[in-house]
Structure 1
Amino acid sequence: MKKWIYFSLLIFVVGILGACSNSENASSEDKKKLVIGATAGPYSDMVTKAVKPLMEEKGYTIEVKEFSDYIQPNISLSEGDLDANLFQHKIYMETFAEEHNIELSEVKIVPTAPMGIYSNKFESIEDIKEGTPIAIPNDPTNAARAFQILEDAKLITLKPDTDPLTVSEKDIQENKLNLKFEPLEAAQLPRAVESVDLSAVPGNYALAAEMDLLDALQLEDMPDDYRNRVVVNTEDVDATFAKDLKEVVESAEFEKTIDEEFKGFGKPKWMTEE
C-alpha cells in the first residue's frame, strides 16, 4: 500500500514538473509573437510602418493593437495582453505606474509630434499683435509646454530658475505683447484655430485633426521627458524581445522611415547627438 502511495506521489510530482517545463517553453516561444499596443493615429502608424517590418526581419510576428484612450494601453500591458506599447511620455508613465501600483520601464525614446503654435490669422510670429488671445491647454503638463514654446518664440520671458516641467502663468516674468491666455481642453485646441487668433496644439491632437505640423508658426523644442517611448513591464526590460525592440528603434532604417513618413516629428537627443 505504501509503495502504491509513493508511486502515485512520484507520478504527480513528475507531472507537475513537466507541466511547468512545458509552460516555460511555451512562454519562451510566445515571445517571438509580440502584441504591441499604441494609440490610434501616428503612433500606431509608427509601430506598423517603422517597427513591425524591422522586428519581422528578426523573426518576430507582430500584432499591432490600437487604443482610443490613454488608460487601457498600460492596463493591458500590466495584465499581459500586450508585450510593449508606444503612446506615452516619461511623466505620464511614471505617474500612471505609481497610481496603479504597476512597474513599467522604457525601452527607447522615439521621435514625437511636437506641440505647435498655430494661427489662421497670422503668418509668422513677428505678425502677432498686442493683446492677442491664445488658446492653451488647461491641464498643467501641457500648459507648461505651451509657455515654454512662447518663451522660445520670445513672446514671453519666464522667471529665472523656473522648472520647465511645471511652468504656469504665475511664472511669467514679462508678457511682451500682453497675450491673453484662454485655457481649453486639449482636444478642443485644433478647432480653436478657427475662432481664436492663436492656439497651442499638442502634436497628437494636431495630427488627429489632419493639421500639417510644418504649418505651425513655432514648433516645440521638446524636452525628452515629453517625448513618447516604447514601454514594457519592468520584468521584461532585459528580455531578448525588449533588446531587439531597442536595437530596431536605434537603427538607420527606423530613422529613414521617420524622415520619410513622419515629417515634423521632433527627434530625441540620442538621435541628434550622434
Structure 2
Amino acid sequence: MTVLAACSSNNKESASNGGTAEQSKTIKIGATAGPYSDMVSKAITPLMEEKGYKIEVVEFNDYVQPNKSLDNGSIDANLFQHIIYLNKFSKDNKLELSAVSSVPTAPMGLYSNKIKSIDDIKEGSTLTIANDPANLARSLLLLQDIGLVTIKKDADPATISEKDIETNVKNLKITSLEAAQLPRTLDSSDLAVVAGNFALAAGMKLASALQLENMAENYRNVVAVRTKDAEGQMAKDLKEVIESAAFEKTMDEQFQGFSKPEWMTK
C-alpha cells in the first residue's frame, strides 16, 4: 500500500487516526492502482478541496485490503469495486460498508497480441482470466457474450467461476491468475480477458480489445464508505461531487472509453 498524495491534517483529528470522517475534513480515499487512483486524484480531489476537504489518496494493489482498511478506519472511502463484490465481501467478512454512488468504469476486454479478430480464434487456444470474484464473473460473461462459452443458467452472478461453464465452444485452455498479472500474459498466451483498470495501467488501449464487455449496471464501480458514515456530510459531499457536471466533464476529457452509469446518461 502506497500513499500517493499526502496532505497535512492541520490541527484537527484525522478521521483515520481514531476519529470519524465527520470529525475532520482531512480524509483518506483508497483506490486500486491505475485509473481509479487517477480518478480520485484528478476528478474527485479537486472538487472535494473546493468544499474545504484535504484529501490523501492511498493506492492498493489487491481487492481485499481496500475494504478491510475502510472497515478499520485506516481510510474513509474507497473506489475499486462494483456493488456485487461490495455486498458479497461485506457479508462474508461481516463488515458494514455502503455505496455512495457509481462512477464511470473501464470495461473488461478480450485482448490478444497474436489474434486479430474473434473469427480467428482457433480450437484449443490458450486464455488467461482473473481468479478473483470481482473480475472472474465479468470475464466469463464477456466470453459468453462473444459466443466462446455458455454459462449455466442457475449460476449465481456473485460467484460465477469456471465450474459454471456449461459449454467451452472452442475448447479454450483457460488459466486463472491474479488480475494485475494478466496484461503480462499476452506474450505467452493467445488471449487474455483483462479488466480495464489493469489494461490502462499497463499502457494498453481500450480500443485495441477484440471486444469490450457490454457492462451491466451492477458491474460499474462505486465509491464506498462505512455504513455509519453513509448519511453523514462527507458521504453527501462525495455524492454531490461525483454527480456534478464538473466531474462528468473530467470523465469526458481524461477517461475516454469508460462506461458511464445510467444516472449519468439520463
TM value normalised by structure 1? 0.79
Aligned in 2, Cα 1:193/1:255: closer, same or farther, shift over 3 Å?
same
Of 198, 202, 210, the match for 2:191: 198
1:189 is the counterpart of 2:186: no
1:233 aligned residue: 226
CA distance in 1 between partners of 2:115 and 2:169 (Å):
17
Range that drifts further, 127-136 or 49-58: 127-136
| Match status 1:149 vs 2:149 | no
Cα RMSD, aligned residues only: 2.7
* Matched residue, 1:213: 206
Indicate yes or no: 2:77 matched with 1:84: yes
Q: Report percent identity of matched pairs.
A: 61
1:92-107 equivalent positions in 2, closer than 5 A: 92-107=85-100
Question: Residue 141 of structure 1: CA displacement?
Answer: 4.9
Alpha-carbon contact 1:135-1:192 (below 8 Å) kept = yes
> 2:105 aligns to what SS in structure 1?
coil
1:5 counterpart residue number: none
Assess, with a 3 A threshold, how the Cα gap between structure 1 residues 204 and 62 changes in structure 2: closer, same or farther: same
CA shift, 1:245, in A, is 0.7
| 2:171 alignment counterpart | 178
Displacement of 1:164 in angstroms is 4.0
Residue type of the alignment partner of 1:54 = L
Aligned-partner Cα distance in 1 for 2:58–2:177: 30
Whose radius of gyration is greater, 1 or 2?
A: 1
Structure-2 residue corresponding to 1:13? none
Does the 8 Å CA contact 2:31/2:60 hold for their aligned counterparts? yes
Q: Could you tell me which residue of structure 2 aligns to residue 53 of structure 1?
A: 46
Secondary structure of the structure 1 residue equivalent to 2:224:
strand
CA contact (8 A) 1:31 1:241 kept: no
The 3 A distance-change label for structure 1 pair 135 and 121 is same
Q: How does 1:14-53 map to 2 (within 5 A)?
A: 30-53=23-46
> Mind listing any 5+ residue stretches in structure 2 that lack a counterpart?
1-12, 14-18
Contact 1:42–1:207 under 8 Å retained in 2: yes
Question: Which residue of the other structure, out of 259, 267, 274, is the alignment partner of 2:252?
Answer: 259
What residue number does 1:3 align with? none
Shift of 1:206: 1.8
Alpha carbons 1:148, 1:164 under 8 Å: kept: no
**How far did residue 47 of structure 1 move?**
0.7
* Contact 1:145 1:165 (8 Å CA) reproduced: no
- Looking at structure 2, the residues matched to 139 and 233 of structure 1 have their Cα atoms a distance apart, in angstroms, of 23
Change (3 A) 1:88 1:140: closer
Aligned pair in 2 of structure 1 residues 171, 249: CA closer, same or farther (>3 Å)? same
Distance across 2 between alignment mates of 1:108 and 1:31: 22
What is the match of residue 120 of structure 1?
113
Distance 1:131 1:78 in 2: 44
Unaligned runs of 5+ in 1: 1-22
The CA distance in 2 between the partners of 1:50 and 1:252, in whole Å, is 11
Cα displacement (A) at 1:161: 5.2
- Tell me the amino acid that sits aligned with residue 79 of structure 2: L
CA distance in 2 between partners of 1:141 and 1:241 (Å): 26
CA shift for structure 1 position 29: 7.5
CA, structure 1 residues 148+72, in 2 after alignment: closer, same or farther (shift >3 Å)? closer
Match of 2:236 among 216, 223, 243: 243
Residues 126 and 173, structure 2, Cα contact 8 Å, conserved in 1? yes
Q: Secondary structure at the match of 1:48?
A: helix
- Residues 180 and 90 of structure 1: CA distance in aligned 2, closer, same or farther (over 3 Å): same
Judge conservation of contact 2:185–2:192 (CA < 8 Å) in 1. yes
